[in-house]
Structure 1
Amino acid sequence: MAFVVTDNCIKCKYTDCVAVCPVDAFHEGPNFLAINPDVCIDCELCVPECPALAIYQEDALPDDMQHYLTLNAELAEIWPVITEIKDAPLDAQEWDGIKNKQEYLII
């Protein structure tokens, strides 16, 4: 089982979650984070750290976000690992809560 970063992380990309990950499962892209499902140990430490509430347990993914499980795995293969908190984008709060942001995902 793994945790999955979903839609609300796009263009918000808060990195509070990466600092608590004991196995360095997070990967950073230009405007999104992904969790490597092969590395994630299902510890749940990242969930309460995400200000955007964008991280779900694999079995609890909403139906309309199921594709994020595959997307996280694919992006983790190409993006570098991130282990330290970075500043969020200046407009992160404006994007927080906006639905259906996948069209803005930069790969």
Structure 2
Amino acid sequence: MAFVITQPCLGCLDASCVEVCPVDCIHGLLPVDEIRQIQLDGDEARLANMQLFIDPQICIDCGACEPECPVEAIFEEFDVPEEWEEYIELNAKFFES
């Protein structure tokens, strides 16, 4: 079972989870440095429809990311709230190529 990033991350992109991930399985549409610069520039509107995702093929289920999320968007796959279950597939699809 992998961890999953859900709806509360949308537009937040705090990225604290990225820093603690031992296997570098958390990514988004933009590199973390670029996300941070956008936030520093006060241009959060550019991030409104973006979020981070966890690659279920790389995640080792260590759970280090979960307590780091300030908006409580990260759940173990079997604990994702029903209203956000579509994020299980969204996380996986983000990494398909």
Stretches (4+) displaced over 3 A:
none
- What is aligned with 1:38? 57
Relative to its length, the structure with more helix (as a share) is: 2
The answer to whether 1:58 aligns with 2:77 is: yes
Which one-letter code corresponds to 1:7 in the other structure?
Q
SS of the counterpart of 1:56? strand
Matches within 5 A, 1:71-82: 71-77=90-96
Q: Is the 8 A contact 1:27 1:76 kept in 2?
A: no
Aligned residues: 78
The answer to whether 1:68 aligns with 2:73 is: no
- What is aligned with 1:25? 25
- What is aligned with 1:15? 15
Compute the TM-score of the two structures, normalised by the length of structure 2: 0.76
- What is aligned with 1:3? 3
SS of the counterpart of 1:77? coil
Q: Is the 8 A contact 1:3 1:44 kept in 2?
A: yes
Q: Is the 8 A contact 1:26 1:76 kept in 2?
A: no
1: distance between equivalents of 2:15 and 2:95? 15
Identity of aligned residues (%): 46
Gaps of 5+ in 2: 31-49
Of residues 54-63 and 21-30 in structure 1, the stretch that sits farther from structure 2 once superposed is 21-30
2: distance between equivalents of 1:19 and 1:42? 16
Gaps of 5+ in 1: 79-107
